[in-house]
Amino acid sequence: MDPMDAIKATYFQECDELLADLEQGLLTLDASEGDGDTINAVFRAVHSVKGGAGAFGFEALVAFAHVFETALDAMRSGKLEPDGDALKLMLRASDVLADFVQAAKGQGVVDEVRAQGIAEELAALTDHGAGPRVSEPAPASDGGDDDWGFTPLKFEIDEPVSAGGWLLVMTPTSAMYAKGHDAAFFLREIERLSSCETALDLSNLPDLDALSPEESYLSWRLRIPGDVAETTIREVFDFVGDDCSVELTRFGAPAPAAAPPAPPIDFEALLGAVRGEPAAAGAPQVNEAHEERGANGADKVSAKPAALGGATIRVDLERVDRMIDLVGELVINQAMLAQRVGESGLARSSTVAIGLDELEQLTREIQDSVMAIRAQPVKSVFQRMPRLVREIAGSTGKQVRLVMEGEGTEVDKTVIERLSDPITHMLRNAIDHGLESPQDRAAVGKPEEGVVRLAALHRSGRIVIEVTDDGKGIDRQRVREIAIKKGLVASDAALTDEEVDNLIFLPGFSTASTVSNISGRGVGMDVVKRSIQALGGRIAITSEPGKGSVFTLSLPLTLAVLDGMVVRVGEQTLVAPLTTIIETLRPKADEVRRLGPRGAVLAVRGGHVPLIDIGVALGWRTTPIDPTIGVVLLVESEVGGRAALVVDAIQGQRQVVIKSLEANYQRVDAIAAATILGDGRVALILDVDVVLDGRSLDRPDNLLLAQAS
């Protein structure tokens, strides 16, 4: 990659994070939970986006970010109230800013009219919110500011009175800089000891014409509160020796006469000078940068201790994936080795067998830790949703508040990627079909603003996503009528409320009488359901008329490994996902009853479940084996209800690495994926839902009966 491209790629990566922070910050403020720090963080996000954009020459982006930043600056300085309307506007502005960033990436275009409108609204906000403002420094010079290598640290003009501590005056000499040391390093080290207050002493700084770039003119005064040993502070400066003069005095004791008196610097005056003559380069410009950074630094300092807690590194995803593949191979190889050793007839107590057991444990642990590396919080998916909700709310004319919970819930990357579409769809449905219009809500005595809750949580080894709305709930009468009209159920079918609710997942069902451009895109809940099932997931709905509905979606935590039951069917070895199996049993002859010309059922615990011969279902044999000589897996799926799958024998239970059939071939009906077993052969993983569902499809009139069973 071209080095410039690499830098750009990093910038865009940062932009995505900054934009997420921006949106998050604005939402926090909107919920009236933010404080000055939040406003600062929001301002900083926009400022950083702008700074980088300036460096790359993304003019349009810079221009918009600049207007945005101006408005935020007014809010930061208290001239603009962070109230509802202003924040709503800023949220929309953050959407547009995101569009500009996308456009700069070369993906998508910006709606110029919308951008212009929002820019004008932002400008209007500051105009009468903040009164006439001194003209901002030109964006270009601002971009330059970001290149200024000054370390952001807290900066105090007036020394506040606080109890106890050290006063440190640090004056680096040019010799120190010549040796490649950086004053920032020391400031950072001291900061690590105690949250100190730092003041820059510019009193020795000559005029621009007298300034020698090689000389050192600056010194810093640090107030280090708290109980820090003198030696600890001195140690920081140990290796620079005499190249940096360090004077350390206790608080209360007057600073030694030798220390520069550090007159308070009138930054306002300096800034005024800069603003008065924007053309002036050099020292005053530098001061401005200091001011800017100093203010920003105030937050960084407070944010720092938290950041120190968990150091992170950025790793190319490919490397992690490669590692996961390799560990997968390791697991397979370990299984192969174990099988060979088993075949060789070594005693289980032999040292080889014991060593092998340990290897197995270790392998399992390695696999778990590698999978943990790839686990990501669902935040990356969730953070796209507020915008979506705003847009849907805007186009439906409904008032919606999105509440998100459990964004930190972690799930494997393979699952994260597949979460976005179903969540998008469920949210669309909740707002479009679930929530009422503000008028209707007011009429039934609800607040005009509807609440949609999006939550993620871990439950019994799966990730559960819930989308809750406080709308009108499912109109069961209408759902029923439509289902009957479309021929999905018999007109005299007796259905429970739950069954009626689940009718919306049937193919070809859509309740909206007019096809809206939001939900009615020809993609119904049946498609959502199918795509979730393809991932081994389940979706369900519960609804209460007048109170709202809850969509619950559950998915496995990973799509990389699976706990399975290894079974033999004829000559073939198959894996059935353990999650679908309720129990295994060997039926007695009197429990098997024939039903119809070919069908058979198994009497189990008072009920009757259909018997399905897996060999026949997969087309490997034409006549089913006698269930009494085989083994029955009692399985349950969301679609097909319960069924008894007949296999020849059970070989054991183990965790298998999921291998895609699609990578080199294509999807195969009734097969979820493949895996490689200990003998090095490929075994197929059964897609229980499809086996059960496929059977129901042959008899559409029984679809509901099967579901109800």
Partner 1 sequence: MDTADTNKDALELISFRIDDQEFCLDIMAVREIRGWTVATSLPHSPSYVRGVINLRGAVLPILDLKTRLGLGVAEPSARSVIIVVHIRERLVGLLVDAVSEILAAERDNIQPTPNVGCETVNRFVRGIIAMEGRMISWIALDDILPEQQQAEAA
CA distances to 52, 371, 381 from 14, rounded to whole Å, are 10, 25, 17
Residues within the interface to partner 1 (CB under 8 A): 325, 328-329, 332, 572-573, 617-620, 659-671, 674, 676, 680-684, 690
Q: For residues 451 and 661, which CB has a smaller minimum distance to partner 1 in the complex?
A: 661
Edge-to-edge strands of the sheet including 197-201? 197-201, 219-225, 165-172, 244-250
76-87 CB burial, b ≥16 within 10 A, e <16: beeebebeeebb
Query: 417 vs 669, which CB is nearer to partner 1?
Result: 669
For residues 325 and 440, which CB has a smaller minimum distance to partner 1 in the complex? 325
Instruction: Enter the DSSP assignment of 469.
Output: E
Identify the burial level of 502 via C-beta atoms within 10 angstroms of its C-beta, where 0-12 means exposed, 13-18 middle and 19 or more buried: buried
How far apart CA 654 and CA 677 sit, in angstroms, is 10
Is the distance from CB of 49 to CB of 41 less than 8 angstroms?
Answer: no
H/E element, 223:
strand 219-225
Through-space distance between the first and last CA atoms of the chain, rounded to whole angstroms = 59
Min dist. Cβ of residue 534 to partner 1 (A): 9
d(CA 68, CA 88) in angstroms, rounded, equals 13
User: HSE of 150 in the Cβ direction (CA atoms, 13 Å)?
Assistant: 23
Which residues, 6+ apart, have CB-to-CB distance to 664 below 8 Å?
none
Nearer to partner 1, 248 or 535 (CB): 535
| Sign of the torsion formed by the C-alpha atoms of 394, 395, 397 and 402 | negative
Nearer to partner 1 (CB atom), residue 172 or residue 536: 536
Give whichever of 348 and 681 is closer to partner 1, judged by the CB atom: 681
Measured torsion, CA atoms of residues 353, 358, 360, 363, in degrees rounded to the nearest 10: -150
Identify which of residues 572 and 584 has a Cβ nearer to partner 1 in the complex. 572
Judged by beta carbon, residue 541 or residue 618, the one nearer partner 1 is 618
> Which is closer to partner 1, CB of 573 or CB of 637?
573
Alpha-carbon separation of residue 278 from 152, 284, 596 (angstroms):
24, 10, 92
CB of 620 to partner 1, least distance (A): 7
The residues with which 168 forms a beta bridge, in sequence order, are 222, 248
**What minimum distance in Å lies between the beta carbon of 579 and partner 1?**
21
Least distance from partner 1 to the Cβ atom of residue 662, Å: 7
Q: Give the nearer residue to partner 1 in terms of CB position, either 84 or 680.
A: 680
Q: Which two tokens stand for residue 620?
A: 């490997």
CA distance 103 to 465: 32
Report the distance separating Cα 265 and Cα 283, nearest Å.
Answer: 14
